[in-house]
Amino acid sequence: MKPIYVLNGPNLNRLGKREPHIYGSTTLAEVEANCRAAAGDCPVVFHQTNSEEALINWVHEAIDEASGIIINPAAFTFTSLALLDALKMVEAPVIELHISNIHKREQIYHRSYVSMRADAVIAGLGARGYATAVKAMLDMIAG
């Protein structure tokens, strides 16, 4: 089975420390462990970057290698047409993920370029949204 790619954008390496009143106290290492546990036998490729270029390169890699992509693009959600263009090349399922409910936040967080491509969006479940996304992706892959 091809892996599920779980891709994380800028500042998510600071989970557990960064604005815990918004993002909670779960670390990115704990998120990764939860994703792998939720995936069971399905392999997971898990990445985080503060670089738009690296994130786009991993999307390009996933085009050929992944059974699906779960992506928390963080701030790139609202700014990156280049990321949207890369995701538009992906034929596998794409789930957009946000730890906070972006629709309850400031207006600048309400327009997602990634949503223009995503097959599903999960927002506001906190760090546990990742395991939910992995389970949903497994269902999507199974058809």
Active site residues per annotation: 23, 98
Strands 68-72 and 94-98: parallel
85 is in an annotated binding site: yes
25 is in an annotated binding site: no
Query: Euclidean distance between the first and final Cα of the chain, in Å?
Result: 14
Per-residue H/E/C for 25-81 = CCCHHHHHHHHHHHHCCCCEEEEECCCHHHHHHHHHHHHHHCCEEEEECHHHHHCCH
Structure tokens at 53: 């270029």
71 is in an annotated binding site: no
99 is in an annotated binding site: yes
Separation in Å, CA 124 to CA 23, 80, 131: 9, 21, 13
Annotated binding site, which residues? 72, 85, 99-100
Binding residue numbers for substrate: 72, 85, 99-100
